[in-house]
Each structure stands twice: as structure tokens, then as C-alpha cells.
Amino acid sequence: MSAKQVDINKWTEIPCECGGMAGRSTVKYKDYEVRGWVCKKCKKEYIHPEDSLKISRFEALKKSRVRVKIRTVGQSLVITLPKEITELYGLQKGETVGLSPESMTRIGIELD
């Protein structure tokens, strides 16, 4: 017998430990607002597992402070984004991002 795959993103409600039903909602987890479910009866919050994993990867990358070298392509300077970063943010070749100076030693990158 093989396991059946389910699409958790289609779940509008899940059963709660209290016996009630938790409806889809935005849930505050640490400093983040993530997808989840809140029980209508006891108000217990459940976090979407994909968002929980994404936050774990984000926090691990934030602690490690990814370093990259500046290269040249033609007459332009280029910074390559490591695979871990592109996967975390779902970036694809050809997408555009915004760059903004934040201080004399920091440049911010904003996803469009």
C-alpha cells in the first residue's frame, strides 16, 4: 500500500486537539506572520508546516551571514545569489529586484 499525497494548501479547516475545528487564518509566529489555522472553540493556533520550515531556513541563513564575491561581467559588477537564498525566496532567472542604499556599509535588496 502506498501513501496518499495530500495538498495541505487546500485545507480550509483542520481538527483541533480540543475536538473543535480550526479555520484557516494568519498566525503570528515569533516575529513573522504566517499561514495557519486557529481553533474556533479554544483559539489554539496551528502553523502551516511549509512556513515553519521556511522560517527555520531563513533564521539559519541569517545566523550564518552568507558571503559572496563581487565579479565583473562586461563593464558591470555582479553579485551572485547562492542557491539557498534563491530557493528561500523563490527567485528565478530574469526576475528584477530593487537595490537601495541603507547606510554607508549596507545595501538593501527588495523583491518586486
pLDDT in tens, 28-73: 988 899 999 999 999 999 999 999 999 998 899 888 888 899 999 9
Say what the pTM is: 0.68
Task: Give CA–CA dist 94/96, Å, rounded.
Answer: 7
* Strand runs labelled E in 42-96: 45-47, 70-73, 76-79
Question: Residue ranges of the domains in the chain?
Answer: 1-65, 66-112
Backbone angles phi, psi at 108, to 5 degrees: -90, 145
**3-state secondary structure (DSSP) of residue 2:** coil
Angle among Cα 44, 47, 53 to the nearest 5 degrees reads 155
Q: How many helices (H) and strands (E) does the chain have?
A: 2, 8
Predicted confidence at residue 62, as pLDDT, reads: 86
